Structure 1
């Protein structure tokens, strides 16, 4: 293990009387590899204070506007049933004639208010309530179509886009056939074609593993797929890579199979033990998963031989940038079995160097209960910078982070799902930008709402 000193930068952004805050330490500029150049640094981060929305849905800075594209419980334009609940991961893809295709996950469990409708040819397990829906938008963000893209899956949390413009939707569950009313095993990744879901159908990519999937990122040069496991109970999740038999083969190629491996960092059984941003962990190893289908034992419990395997609590977002893959650990708590406490980490893995680097640590230095912790979905902004969906307590925000590490509020949810005396707000999820970078799409998890946000992004 080698370590390099890093300039520690503590930054705090406070928004409104609710006092939501977030802080970062580390080399934030490393997160933006491969993005467009940011505007010159002026020391005045963001787009100004959030303006209260008179309609009580979404507060944004002055000059920005939103359009509600979809809300749970409304009718699908396809006539297949109601818009499902629990809006989660999402991605935007270019379509013909200036259109945009949005694919949206529904993290439905068996108690879902609105299940994903069962549709012939698109359903894996008729007893499972989750899946994806696909929206087609015109150039003015008007919804032309909204339909089921895959059904009969469970707890579809996040996922990731492929270089050939399909969506990999991830089941964050490990229920087997006969448990909780399910007819088939769950915990898989499925491929979804946003323009024509029937081309991909409902086929589990079993070689990619059966575990509590969160997100994926594809190396566009090698076709290797990196996968995070969102396990918040001990033993915690693993970070995986999948080596496909037909790398970069296009739609359907992942069904040809491949090899699943888990990351081992020698001498580091738990990533939360690393606390100093800029720390390099060299000599990363990849160990074959003994039983990717977890027939008898969940993968994170399996025997990886001498040296064990490296775990991390609550592994969430994952994306490819430049020549590296980045992934998020949303939090770690000693009281729950982690080696250390933190409020969120972003890690960078460089495949060519076999080097893992702790890039950023989120959160204040003291009270772990303060809001502003627990980064979840993240995306790179088209104009340079990062957008982070908060998944902590209290008010829920989308935060922006400049290349210089300055943090600013971008949006605040206003839909109270609690009471007047004890208000509660649904988390944000599925943040993504349109192919031209002029529109940010984001979901409110509950009540399920998809927003299209336009404004002076390149100001």
Structure 2
């Protein structure tokens, strides 16, 4: 028998916690460049990947994984099979020391399709669609405690981004049937997710990912689209915007300013396509072209004149005082990473894919996150093998994991203490917790401060967000494996 949502909230200590959590991420959103460079420039990776006898993840020697959730095998707290088609994710600190992972499900069809998010009472945007978001609680080591619905009845929930006020903004990568919006999911206050409404001020388009400047509360959004290709948008908040859970959906569609990126080269000419840059350290000047028709009633927003576009704009992440943006595909190479510096109003090409390293071909970057020890982590979605890969501070790429499941990696995100890397395989939908001898930013045993993508210590919060373990554990089996050795299995506790 399923447990109703109010019982879950009461048992997990989350009932009635509708408080501002501003500050719990803000200290992590601007990791010092010097600290990142000190680790990244001397670090070239963890070594060759060792095939998994269970056929799931190839990892470097000394690393291990645990299956957290698996579509159709583990179950939600309410008793439904875990949904699938995993994509963007983020990890947050629960006040009791456990971890809350918010996970997108990129389901394009209806509520009865494979992998669809269950239509939980009060959490459904539209009855005819099967996408959405789940919230997963784990131990600090990544062992599943429970999973529940954050939002349902949305479509094609691809990536998104964390906010400085400690919530998740999930993005619909579609313009079909009135979709194409951003929704907010609060992992700490489950009641705040009732009656989901689109954030119309952020525009209607094929949203991919976003990141937030913690000082200015400006939001940068990527668009994965074609006919024409997508672009990068900037949303500047209206006067008086404070950045609190639920505040964005209360704004009118015309509040603040939504604008599209326009890059110019050294000659002052418009850069029509980011793919024309092949040389690392290419720098463009950036202006922003205001978008008036945010609901796309007169056609796609990306049809604006005088803007810069790219094929398959993907992940976005804020750290080091700017926005990292992924352009996953170009004719002459298989992906780029760009850094937008708002102070200088410049866009710089930092990394070019494809890369051959340790016997692996790493190409087509997608989701992106800052590593606790410096540099970046990307998931890939290419035509060949798909990887989790690191990018050092000087732009060098190294493999961390290879999918052996014939599907792309999604949603890399580190636990708040930097010891567990959560990542998904999209189809059918598996969430992994990966552990190993991660590099350290500071002295031995110190993981250092993280860039955005999780939360800071619970003591930094305003208010309380206790999410105690309670008695809830979803039924299912987890696997732990040390790379290069035989796999072992331990069963999760039944509810």
What range is the shorter-chain TM-score in?
Answer: 0.7 to 0.9
Question: 2:125 maps to what in 1?
Answer: 124
Q: Which stretches in structure 2 are left out of the alignment for 5+ residues?
A: 1-29, 265-269, 441-495
Q: Is the 1:88–1:104 Cα contact (8 Å) retained in structure 2?
A: yes
User: C-alpha distance in 2, partners of 1:404/1:34?
Assistant: 11
Question: 1:179 maps to what in 2?
Answer: none
Query: Normalising by the residue count of structure 1, what TM-score does the alignment of the two structures yield?
Result: 0.81
User: C-alpha distance in 2, partners of 1:189/1:196?
Assistant: 19
Match of 1:312 among 307, 310, 321: 310
Instruction: Please provide the CA RMSD for this pair.
Output: 2.2
Q: Once the 2 structures are TM-superposed, how far is the Cα of residue 443 of structure 1 from its aligned partner?
A: 0.2
User: C-alpha distance in 1, partners of 2:392/2:355?
Assistant: 18
Change in Cα spacing, 1:40 to 1:134, as seen in structure 2 (3 Å) is: closer
Change in Cα spacing, 1:199 to 1:374, as seen in structure 2 (3 Å) is: same
Q: Once the 2 structures are TM-superposed, how far is the Cα of residue 290 of structure 1 from its aligned partner?
A: 2.4
Match of 1:374 among 346, 364, 385: 364
Question: 1:385 maps to what in 2?
Answer: 375
User: C-alpha distance in 1, partners of 2:179/2:138?
Assistant: 31
Q: Is the 1:129–1:152 Cα contact (8 Å) retained in structure 2?
A: yes
Q: Is the 2:351–2:396 Cα contact (8 Å) retained in structure 1?
A: no
User: C-alpha distance in 2, partners of 1:399/1:364?
Assistant: 10
Change in Cα spacing, 1:218 to 1:382, as seen in structure 2 (3 Å) is: same
Question: 2:66 maps to what in 1?
Answer: 67
Aligned residue runs from structure 1 range 238-257, under 5 A: 238-245=231-238, 246-255=240-249, 256=251, 257=255
Question: 1:7 maps to what in 2?
Answer: none
Q: Is the 2:321–2:341 Cα contact (8 Å) retained in structure 1?
A: yes
Q: Is the 1:263–1:310 Cα contact (8 Å) retained in structure 2?
A: yes
Change in Cα spacing, 1:430 to 1:356, as seen in structure 2 (3 Å) is: same
Aligned residue runs from structure 1 range 21-170, under 5 A: 34=33, 36-37=35-36, 45-79=44-78, 81-110=80-109, 112-170=113-171
Match of 1:351 among 342, 357, 374: 342
Aligned residue runs from structure 1 range 292-441, under 5 A: 292-302=294-304, 304=305, 308-333=306-331, 341-363=332-354, 372-415=362-405, 425-441=406-422
Change in Cα spacing, 1:249 to 1:388, as seen in structure 2 (3 Å) is: closer
Q: Is the 1:121–1:198 Cα contact (8 Å) retained in structure 2?
A: no
Aligned residue runs from structure 1 range 197-276, under 5 A: 197-201=190-194, 202-231=196-225, 233-245=226-238, 246-255=240-249, 256=251, 257-266=255-264, 267-276=270-279
Change in Cα spacing, 1:354 to 1:98, as seen in structure 2 (3 Å) is: same
Question: 1:286 maps to what in 2?
Answer: 288
Q: Which stretches in structure 1 are left out of the alignment for 5+ residues?
A: 1-30, 177-184, 334-340, 416-424
Residue by residue over 1:149-173, the C-alpha shift from the partner in whole angstroms, topping out at 9 and shown as x without a partner, is 1000000000000011100000000
User: C-alpha distance in 2, partners of 1:42/1:132?
Assistant: 37
Question: Which is bigger in relative contact order (C-alpha 8 A, separation at least 6)?
Answer: 2
Change in Cα spacing, 1:40 to 1:238, as seen in structure 2 (3 Å) is: closer
Q: Once the 2 structures are TM-superposed, how far is the Cα of residue 69 of structure 1 from its aligned partner?
A: 0.3
Q: Is the 2:41–2:393 Cα contact (8 Å) retained in structure 1?
A: no
Residue by residue over 1:189-234, the C-alpha shift from the partner in whole angstroms, topping out at 9 and shown as x without a partner, is 0000012333033110011010000000000110000000001x23
Change in Cα spacing, 1:32 to 1:343, as seen in structure 2 (3 Å) is: farther
Residue by residue over 1:366-385, the C-alpha shift from the partner in whole angstroms, topping out at 9 and shown as x without a partner, is xxxx9532111121111122
Residue by residue over 1:3-35, the C-alpha shift from the partner in whole angstroms, topping out at 9 and shown as x without a partner, is xxxxxxxxxxxxxxxxxxxxxxxxxxxx98658
Question: 1:181 maps to what in 2?
Answer: none
Provide the secondary structure at the position in 2 that maps to 1:221. coil
Change in Cα spacing, 1:258 to 1:156, as seen in structure 2 (3 Å) is: same
Provide the secondary structure at the position in 1 that maps to 2:379. strand
Q: Is the 2:86–2:424 Cα contact (8 Å) retained in structure 1?
A: yes
Query: Normalising by the residue count of structure 2, what TM-score does the alignment of the two structures yield?
Result: 0.75
Question: 1:189 maps to what in 2?
Answer: 182
